[in-house]
Structure 1
Amino acid sequence: MPELPAPRIRAARPEDDGELALLDRLAWSHLHAVTPAPQPPYAPFFSERHAPEDCLVAELGDRLVGYVLLGFPTELESNRHVRQIQGLAVAEEARGLGVGRALVGAAVDEARRRGARRITLRVLGHNTPARALYEAQGFAVEGILPEEFLLDGVYVDDVLMGRSLGAGPTT
């Protein structure tokens, strides 16, 4: 079997907005989303909360197949040393090809480059593929909010994960 090319990770550009918004809608699932399914009219992908410089994208060939959003967990100055993964999506046809791993590794590296000492995230308890991905990238469970969300009639835990940026795998 021929070896598949590694995804190319780059900073998002404003002109990626439409493609990212479409990817986000197509990837929506209660496996990872606590918000209702997107409905028209669709909002732009970039906003005051997440500008292009807060987003890294993955490309396979000339196709955008994933993204990761980095932000601050709070607006507090005392928390500025921490970055948070605030969104991750991989196109269905690109799952299992190392795209998620490459994006999380790039987010860790970018957070470190920006001077962060820690990186955190929140993941739904039933999202075992994402939890395994994050654990493989050095994240550990730091807290659980039991039954924090009611999704499709099922109570789901909110799992808080984090890691120091001083050590651990990033790719």
Structure 2
Amino acid sequence: MSIELRDALPSDLAVCHRCLDDVAREGRWLSRLSAPPIERYAAFVAGLREANAPQVVAVDREVVGWCDIAPDASPVRAHVGNLGMGLLASYRAFGLGRRLLTLALDRARQRGLERIELSVLHDNEPARALYERLGFQIEGRRRRDWKRDGVYRDSILMALDLGAGQG
């Protein structure tokens, strides 16, 4: 599988939005069940660009996955980034998530971010294993964080300290 990894371009906006929507509609991995309206997503992406924040994509004719790290808005947490990522189902289990995350973390280091935080569902074993392989540590758990169709799921809070030479 020959997939190009690169920084997201402004022209990727619509297909990134569609990719986010496809992953969200699976209802299993993200903290949303669909993508936000395109206008709100465009504002989020514009904020990433304005902050010189990492947003990388995997492309196989069109975007099939993404990883972004949004800097925290608080001045006292400006060194912290919040990670979001996803891959279309047919592109999982080929090492693409690791490649995307590694590139995004490299971009975060270049930007001067020192700490990367994320939340992952407790039963998303592939994602948790990936994050742990790249040096993320479990820092907490939000019990009954997710509720869908009467079923609760916990979220695991993880972080990577880029300043400690991990990753």
Quick one: distance in 2 between partners of 1:155 and 1:45?
A: 28
- TM-score with structure 1 length normalisation? 0.83
- List, as ranges, runs of 4+ consecutive aligned residues in structure 1 with deviation greater than 6 Å: none
Pick the aligned partner of 1:80 from 34, 57, 78. Answer: 78
On the 8 A contact 2:70/2:82 being kept in 1, the answer is yes
CA separation of 1:167 and 1:105: change in aligned 2, threshold 3 A: same
Return the TM-score normalized by structure 2: 0.84
Higher fraction of helix: 2
Higher relative contact order (CA 8 A, sep 6+): 1
Question: Could you tell me whether the CA contact under 8 Å between 2:23 and 2:29 is conserved in 1?
Answer: no
Q: How many residues align?
A: 160
Gaps of 5+ in 2: none
CA distance in 2, matches of 1:36, 1:65: 18
Q: SS of 1:47's equivalent? A: helix
- 1:108 & 1:152 partners in 2: Cα distance? 35
Deviations 1:112-142 (A, max 9, x none): 1111111111111121121111111111111
Task: Report the aligned-residue RMSD.
Answer: 2.1
Check whether the contact 2:22–2:34 (CA below 8 A) recurs between aligned residues.
no
Indicate the residue corresponding to 2:59 in structure 1.
59
Alpha-carbon spacing, 1:19–1:49, altered in 2? closer, same or farther (3 Å): closer
Moved more, 42-51 or 129-138: 42-51
Report % sequence identity: 30
The separation in 1 between residues aligned to 2:116 and 2:35, in whole angstroms, is 28
